[in-house]
Structure 1
Amino acid sequence: MSEPDDKKHPATHTEPLSRAIGERYLTYALSTIMHRALPDARDGLKPVHRRILFAMRELKLSSTGGFRKSAKISGDVMGNYHPHGDAAIYDAMARLAQDFAMRYPLVDGQGNFGNIDGDNPAASRYTEARMAPPAEVLLEGLAENAVDFRPNYDGTLEEPIVLPAAFPNLLANGASGIAVGMATNIPPHNLDELVEGCLAMIRDPAITEDALVDLIPGPDFPTGGVLVEPKASILEAYRTGRGAFRLRARWSTEDLGRGQWQIIVTEIPYQVQKAKLIERLAELIETKKVPALADVRDESADDVRIVLEPRAKTVDPAQLMGMLFRNSELEIRFSLNMNVLIDGKVPKVCSLKEVLRAFLDHRRDVLCRRSRHRLEKIANRLEILEGYIIAYLNLDRVIEIIRYEDEPKQALMAEPWQAEGGVAHLTEAQAEAILNMRLRSLRRLEEMELRAERDGLIKEREGLEALLASDKAQWKQISAELTALRKSFGKGTALGRRRTDFAEAGEVVEVPIEAMIDREPITVILSKMGWVRAMKGHQPLDAEVKFKDGDGPAFAVHAETTDRIVLMGSNGRAWTLLGANLPGGRGMGEPVRLMVDIPNEVEVTHVLLPKPGVKYLVVSSDGDGFVVPGEELIAQTKAGKQVLNLRDGARTAVCRPIAGDHVACVGENRKMLVFALDELPEMARGKGVRLQKFKDGGLADAVTFALADGLSWKDPAGRTRTEPDLAEWLGKRGTAGRMAPRGFPRDNRFN
């Protein structure tokens, strides 16, 4: 007979999918927040770090003892307390040993634990570790019931819920983590300043954030650097628990003699990988985004030494660094998000004062628990000592009972004994202790030592009872403990001195590229096929120059290395090259289309050197044009800048500097028109207005001149001819004009 269906298939529970997913995701989120991502405000540690240090304590890896293989440590942590991947545990331990990541390293590593370049640590089987002195301070008091313990993941062992933490590790070493829906990012601080802030809070619990920030002026990063964040901004960040700090590299100039110099970077911002920083600086040189920078070298050994070479000795070092701060990770913004677990349970974004208060309250709790634990130990010891003293007072009878009684313990407890205060009975613990005494302890000197020990313990008990009864005494004791920390980790020690300085950011002034380049004459040559080069010096423009087979000269202009050279295209677009960036004249040059984005179908029609204050006449082959300031022709990108808008089939016909008060234009039909320059609009870009009306063809050429000097042109023989009387051709802009004067060139060009 078969079983009923309800026994084969147990009853199922039905609930909406949204509720089922919501409850499970909430459980996961809380687990991530509580047990993985956010540090505890009391000891500043996440569970994995806490377990690593506790496991090292269990392995007795003190800062003065021997090292153990990292594989052994991470294996013990994984097997006993942290059932996650050993790689994750080892990575967490390796970070605790990195002096460039931790302001006060908690692990003393031996071997390759990574470097500031971003290289990973060696495998755990190759490295060794032990606790560092700051870690021992965090663990101090664990054996004295200073904190609560809980069962480990499988219930076979116990682990501390939080460490006693004798210093505010959360702020001293900082923390970072990403949980579900929240994150934390806390920079490291100077321990000496944190102690000063804690002492000030103990003296005045109502201390203001302003007074606190005077004592703790800002983060102190292990890699040093210079903090350039305004004080008001720092104060607001500490008051709200959210903000950011601008951190710059530390640099100085090194004199090379003969006016030459170079910049030496000795400290880089926190968490910036040096190798990637060097790559970024090299990219800036390659793309010429910071043209004043000529070269970068990494000469680092044990310390950081990055050499930056300027392109010219005339460059101002501060201005060069200002541009590098803007374009590279030589300056970063380190965000502050003081999101921590209060009492290990509630995530909260805390202010600086709230974080220090959480630490101080924890220290007070630890002090009281350790004091009560010590009182219990004293009470137990005093009980034993009283039994010993009774035994000494009745030594002969005690010896007799031990020698002749079958149950000496019961006999000792039943006997009324003569004591200092009268008659007393021994407790079980006292009787057991008397029975376990050594014969050598029966000497007279031992009795005197017991009485001295008893008196000392009674005095210590009175002090502890007074401590527990007085808030003032407790805070005084905590102040003394914090002050004692300064001997080991204060500013007077190599580890404790402040590494990050403060400075004003200053304004980054945009320096013209020309000011950063040595000014030298060059002759720019552009071939018909678009190959460009720069010959040194001002060579004759008609000098014979070699070109590739099938190529020939198109343009040759005298310029300087500081000049911006504008190429005007047949499509009305302008591109800009810097004279200093042009290839030398030893070879055939380089294709200009590799330097700027000129389409293959576009022809370069003009090569210009715009100067400040100079304006240009630009006209299309349709006869439309306008006046444009020279600076509007300069493009800031490789894509160029559209200046003259053209209709289909039209092209750029004229782009000339303006000199004079009138415009003369001639069409392909040989009709010439002269009109006043002020009839043309001045624009940055556009189509412009009609210069001359044509029935057939379009514009051939246009030029500006002074009417009083007459209009000049060159005849086929190269002689200059001038027409002084232009009344016949004078008219309004946009009219057809009259036939050109006798002797005007057949190609309809003024030059």
Structure 2
Amino acid sequence: MSSDTPTDPNADAARVQTARIEDEMEQSYIDYAMSVIAGRALPDVRDGLKPVHRRILYAMHEAGVTSRSSHRKSSSIVGETMGDYHPHGDSAIYDALARMAQDFSMRYPLVDGQGNFGSVDGDPPAAMRYTEARMSPIAEELLDDIEKDTVDFQSNYDDRLQEPEVLPSAIPNLLVNGSSGIAVGMSTNIPPHNLGEVIDAVVHLIENPDCSVEDLIHVDGNPGPIKGPDFPTGANIVGRNGLYKAYKTGRGKLRVRAEFEVDEEEGRIVITELPFQENKARRIERIAEDVNDGKIEGIRDLRDESDRDGIRIVVELKRDAIAEVVKNQLLEHHLESTFGVINLALVDGEPRVLDLKETLVEYLEHRKEVVTRRSEFELAEAEDRAHILEGRLTALDNVDEVVELIQDAEDRDDAKAVLQERFDFSADQVEHIVAMQLGSLTSMEAAAIEDEYEEVQARIERLNEILADESELLGVIEEELLAIKDEYDDERRTSFVADDGSVTHEDLIPEEEMVVVVSEDDYIKRMPLDTFRAQNRGGKGIIGTNLKEGDRVSSVFVANTHDFLLCFTNHGQVYQLKTYEVPEMSRTARGKSAVNLLDLDDGEEITSVVDTDDMDAEAGDFLTMVTRDGYIKRTGVDEFQHILSTGIRAIRLEDGDELADVEVTDGTQDVIVSTKAGMSIRFAESEARAMGRSARGVRGIRLTERADGTRDEVAAVAGVDPDRHEWVLTVTENGYGKRSNIAAYRQQSRNGKGLIDIKTNERNGPVCALETVGPGDHLLVMSDAGQIVRTPVDDISTVGRNTMGVTVVDLDAGDHVASVDVVPVERMADETSEEVEVDGEAIAEAGE
């Protein structure tokens, strides 16, 4: 047909196939996914290798780059692998080669590298033209007997060569070196294990084929052979529950903790091992970032002193730092990681999640096939050799006649034909006989042939036993595995530590009652409560803090080291803080800037602190708040469960108003609101309905004008627990106070003027605190200048409401009461004594 002949459009249309695009895309994607799953990302359960690793090792084997040869340029190995077996980019091949040479990535490296193959800091390997490599001795165990028809071969990508579908793998490499990879829609992450333990597990399976997964692992008192993963970087596995699940189901999560030592004498923490696959340089950088951002307190220096001998990261602590707190902060954020186990591998070309026993069974079946095929191969060779030796022995027995027949023959072919006819030799036998040298006719040579024949016959007999009896076959596998264990086994690197729950800041911090002091310039510290012994009413107390010039105490309270504290400020914000996060210092120390602990705004001061140990969200407790202008609001404690580091709004305040005090109530109590002018009002808390955090609240008390024309302000609020509280205790700024029976405060309606609680005059000064107390409670009073007095409430006289009270603390001229807190009797249970010092002046002088 000429080129000018027009084409038939109908014929072209007939060749077009109609297909739904979604069906075509689905099939194409499935084909692509299976290609990635089987050809790139997942290891084979039999040899534990992905195609790229298998091809690299086989290319090195074919090139003779073994552990006994000299190193070869990595570029040469990559080139041969890419040209003959792996038609992908050279960078992917070199990355795989480099990883097999990294002793921090592979528990038993398969490549012996020479040069820079990367580091635990994440540094990449040097270019392949600079590095050299050869197989490691243990890698040769993967290829041992590959020339004996032990595995199937397939054509390479261009049909020029043959490559193995799998390696014989004399070691259970999948578990020994582990594997990780991301395929399409699935991934694998198998941790490495100790070679000796895995081999012992295979031997146990050979001897006890009906054993369970529990029999193979060291858990619940069962001394199974496999203790757990053994990472090349060491570190510690926390607990064994995750291990059991991973081995039982093929999936699980392991907590891996760094190895470190806390040196309290030197004030440092030294890290010597990191979790597997951890980038050391990046981890140090993140620790430094958290220190700079204030997320971790107490670290003054961070050094990397690692060398070729191992990892050594030194964390230098500040002089006043609490080593246990810093350690647990590091554990929570930096020194623990999770290793997610996904024991997914290719079984007969299909991906499967396997438990521990299934993995070992698949490997054992592979070794049974390898040893069987090797035995068959060696048997055929032995039988061929025995056949040749039989012919040579027959020739030696008839040596004179054989020599004569050969001499009389016209040529070599004629000699072969005559010998075959005379002695019934096979073609192979007669070929060897004709090729025999005269030296082999000596008696010594003849004896050697006879000895060899006997050895070959014994070998044939043994191979037949192996092939005929599976127990003999398994015995060979067991013997070979134990021989490999003897040669390559080493000590475990990864240890185990008890699972003490998720790491929190209070781990190993002893529970202790603390006095926390906050100043107006935002200095904060804590001191043990037993630092301040109880003394009689009216003492001067002892120094509780050393303030800088112009600073004053703004708050003092008692809390347990493990408690969360809700710190309410005059701006209506609330912040959350752990007691132990406050630095512990001596009485004469100034404290630490609270800016490092709380993100306070300019002019923002802590006016009230609530111990979350006193709150119960499930019981429906409330936070009852009062403002200086007399407003009251109740909000459920469940709205304060998630507080940001920058704080959250607790109450909406009008211009000029401030939050005065906060109390925890249960929804059924009465509350007493007191003012600075000495007025108080008691009403049921239910009169102030529950509101959200952004609400302002309702009027709790109607404030009146003072004698000087200024308006009164709210000083405090207290809840009335009839099962615990018997008295109302009021303290004024000039150090006077009194306690009155709660019954003297009759219940009224909200928004009234209230009743006189205490006379406020020039002697007493305005009210600064009101508390409800019970028998045995102690009062902790702190002055602006930093003096602290701790006194039993029983020492304060019980008087009526409309009275002036007595001296609670003896203040110096110009000093005033800054803050008051109650120490309930139950919080003093751990104190060894209740000594009361009569001479307050003596105590004060001792403190000075």
TM-score range, shorter chain: 0.7 to 0.9
Q: Deviations over 1:262-303 (max 9, x none)?
A: 332221111111112222322333344343555433221130
CA distance in 2, matches of 1:610, 1:513: 24
Residue 544 of structure 1 deviates from its aligned partner by 5.5
Taking the aligned partners of 1:292 and 1:265, their CA distance within structure 2 comes to 17
Say whether residues 1:54 and 2:66 are aligned partners: no
Partner amino acid for 1:117?
Answer: D
User: Alpha-carbon deviations, 1:363-388, whole Å to 9, x = none?
Assistant: 11111111111122122222322333
Identify the residue that residue 153 of structure 2 maps to in structure 1. 149
Single out whichever of 212-221 and 95-104 deviates more from structure 2: 212-221
In 2, Cα distance between equivalents of 1:332 and 1:183: 19
Where do residues 650-669 of structure 1 align in structure 2 (5 Å cutoff)? 651-652=657-658, 654-655=660-661, 663-665=673-675
Q: Secondary structure at the match of 1:45?
A: coil
Question: Does the residue aligned with 2:254 lie in a helix, a strand or coil?
Answer: strand
| CA distance in 2 between partners of 1:655 and 1:230 (Å) | 48
Counterparts in 2 of 1:409 and 1:388: CA distance versus 1, 3 Å: farther
In structure 2, stretches of 5+ residues that fail to align are: 218-223, 527-542, 586-591, 616-621, 665-670, 719-726, 769-848
CA–CA distance in 2 between the matches of 1:255 and 1:730?
57
Matched length: 699
Counting only pairs closer than 5 Å after superposition, residues 230-249 of structure 1 correspond to structure 2 as 230-231=240-241, 233-249=242-258
Residue of 259, 271, 274 corresponding to 1:268:
274
The Cα offsets for residues 615-674 of structure 1, whole Å up to 9 and x where unpaired, read as 9995446531269999x999964322333333x55632644999xx9655489xxxx964
- How big is the shift at 1:84? 0.5
- Mapping 1:60-459, distance limit 5 Å: 60-213=64-217, 214-231=224-241, 233-254=242-263, 256=265, 260-291=266-297, 295-301=301-307, 302-311=309-318, 315=322, 317=324, 320-328=326-334, 330-343=335-348, 345-400=349-404, 402=406, 405-415=409-419, 424-459=423-458
Alignment of 1:545-556 (within 5 A): none
Q: Contact 1:674–1:731 at 8 Å: present in 2 too?
A: no
Aligned pairs for 1:578-593 within 5 A: 580=583
Amino acid at match of 2:500: G
**1:520 Cα offset (Å):** 11
* 1:287-333, Cα deviation, whole Å (9 max, x unpaired): 4434355543322113011223445678464x6544432222x2222
Change (3 A) 1:242 1:633: closer
Shift of 1:83: 0.5
Conservation of the 8 A alpha-carbon contact between 1:251 and 1:265: yes
- The CA deviation at 1:196 is 1.3
Matches within 5 A, 1:505-524: 505-507=499-501, 508=503, 510-511=505-506, 524=519
**Are 1:703 and 2:712 counterparts?**
no
- Give the distance between the partners of 2:369 and 2:12, measured in 1 at CA: 54
Deviations 1:688-740 (A, max 9, x none): 4423347999964123699x9999989xxx99999x9xx9x998642368999
Residue in structure 2 matching 1:643, options 646, 650, 654: 650
Summarize the Cα distance change of 1:425–1:124 in structure 2 as closer, same or farther, 3 Å threshold: same
Q: Does the 8 Å contact 1:523/1:557 carry over to 2?
A: yes
SS in 1 for 2:713: strand
Q: Which AA in structure 2 matches 1:241? A: G
Distance 2:760 2:229 in 1: 82
Closer, same or farther: CA 48–300 of 1 in aligned 2, 3 Å: same
Aligned pair in 2 of structure 1 residues 540, 325: CA closer, same or farther (>3 Å)? closer
Matched residue, 1:604 = 604
What RMSD over aligned residues (CA atoms) do the two structures have, in Å? 4.9
Partner Cα separation in structure 1 for residue 728 and residue 384 of structure 2: 119
| DSSP-derived class of the 1:159 partner | strand
1:98 shift after superposition = 1.0
Instruction: From 722, 734, 742, give the equivalent of 2:751.
Output: 734
Could you list the runs of 5+ residues in structure 1 that have no partner in the other structure? 418-422, 491-495, 527-531, 546-552, 583-588
User: Does the CA contact (< 8 Å) of 2:190 and 2:342 recur in 1?
Assistant: yes
Q: Structure 1: how far apart are the matches of 2:510 and 2:275?
A: 29
Tell me the residue number matched to 2:833. none
Identity among equivalent pairs (%): 35
Per-residue CA deviation, residues 209-265 of structure 1 (Å, 9 max, x unaligned), is 11111221211111112222335x423321211112222112233364xxx443322
Distance in 2 (CA, whole Å) between partners of 1:13 and 1:644 is 71
- Among 49, 52, 56, the residue aligned to 1:45: 49
Q: Does 1:476 align with 2:478?
A: no
Does the Cα contact within 8 Å between 1:665 and 1:699 map onto a contact in 2?
no
CA contact (8 A) 2:681 2:753 kept: no
Deviation at 1:474, TM superposition (A): 1.0
Counterpart of 2:55 in 1: which secondary structure?
Answer: helix
**Do the aligned residues in 1 keep the contact of 2:328 with 2:507 (CA within 8 Å)?**
no
Which whole-Å deviations, capped at 9, do the CAs of 1:463-509 have from their partners, x for residues lacking one? 2112211112111111111121121123xxxxx21111223112446
Contact preservation (8 Å) 1:653, 1:699: no
Distance 1:271 1:430, change over 3 A: same
Distance 1:740 1:98 in 2: 78
Q: 1:692 maps to what in 2?
A: 701
The aligned counterpart of 1:493 is none
Asked if the contact 2:525/2:582 (under 8 Å) is kept, the reply is no
Alpha-carbon separation, structure 1, partners of 2:71 and 2:270: 37
Is 1:625 the equivalent of 2:629?
no
| Secondary structure of 1:215's aligned partner | coil
